[in-house]
Amino acid sequence: MKRNRISNLALIVGLLVLLVSMGGCAPAGAGEGGGSIVPLIIILALVFGMFYFFLIRPMRQRERKHDTMVGELEKGDMVITAGGIYGQVESIDEDSVVLKVESGATIRVTKGGVLSRPEERVG
């Protein structure tokens, strides 16, 4: 899905560049040096707006959602780390989490290393 958005964005930007290069935004009857800069500014604003709505905004929403999930962690929650390790939260520090894995061993990971929390809760 992410690849689809990027390819759609690239297609739109390519069409806008083609339109500008063909002179589609230049006023009728404009000579070689008489073009206005206004259409270029409009095109650049549209490109920046598309980048914001297709790339920057969704990334910020994912980061906010992750920060909220990590902030709501409690002892006993099951989590999955960035390395694919499933574990149960044993304790939470300021910047790290101690997880108990299936073998009974405990590991310490950073809060940023916790990717998701499955819906099931072990109590």
Mean pLDDT of all residues belonging to the chain? 82
- Using pLDDT thresholds of 50, 70 and 90, give the confidence band for residue 106: very high
- Average pLDDT rounded to a whole number, residues 99-123: 85
Q: Is the pTM of this model over 0.95?
A: no
Distance of alpha carbon 64 from alpha carbon 57, whole angstroms: 11
pLDDT for residue 43? 87
- DSSP letters, the chain, are -HHHHHHHHHHHHHHHHHHHHTTTTSPTT--SS---SHHHHHHHHHHHHHHIIIIIHHHHHHHHHHHHHHHT--TT-EEEETTS-EEEEEEE-SSEEEEE-TTS-EEEEEGGGEEE--S----
Q: What is the pLDDT of residues 62-77, one digit of tens each?
A: 999 999 999 999 999 9
